Amino acid sequence: MAKAGRSNDWGFPRWRSYDSSREAVAQRECDRHGCGEPGLCPAPKSPNSPDRWYFCQKHAAEYNKGWDYFEGLDKEQKAERAKAERQESEGYAEASHYGWTGSGDGSRTADEMRALEVLGLESDADFAAIKKAYRVRAKSVHPDVKPGDEEAAQEFQKLQVAYEVLRAAEDRREWRG
């Protein structure tokens, strides 16, 4: 037998009966005067201060646009803080070395980004632009155009590999639908 004071919901709200009620949770509003949006983004009130403003996403972006992290520090303190920040974030730089990062929007892999660099294109290039850039650059270094030129042959091979990587990625995107 269960005790009378024991809950029967096991911590899962969806298992409660329909007649049980839950109290409303108070949500903090944006600290910007006149804004009624939820204040979910904390922002420091001043450098080296634990006090925080709580803004909505729009006002947090507006606030951070002019934020100077090194305000009020002299040259040596700025250099010391910058060095400490670099040391803390070295793990992220190491991760990018291993290809764990891709394009900013996540639509392209690190291999695709390197292939676009080889072709001299931006990360948002469509496949028609990729095909055109490949053909133009491949014609200029093709072994039939420059027979006996080792550098041109190596460049042509790089272009071929880059184009194959991008073509395979485009085929996967079309296949997924």
Overall pTM surpassing 0.75 (yes/no): no
Q: Which pair of structure tokens corresponds to residue 77?
A: 């303190």
CATH 1.10.287.110 fits 110-176, yes or no: yes
Q: What pLDDT digit, counting tens, does each position of 108-133 carry?
A: 888 888 999 999 998 888 899 999 99
Q: Tell me, what's the pLDDT at 102? A: 45
Q: What pLDDT digit, counting tens, does each position of 87-104 carry?
A: 876 666 555 545 554 445
Phi, psi of 41 (to 5 degrees): -110, 105
Domain with CATH 1.10.287.110 in the chain: 110-176
Question: Residue 30 burial by CB count (10 A; 0-12/13-18/19+): exposed, middle or buried?
Answer: buried
Which residues, in sequence order, are bridge partners of residue 53? 43
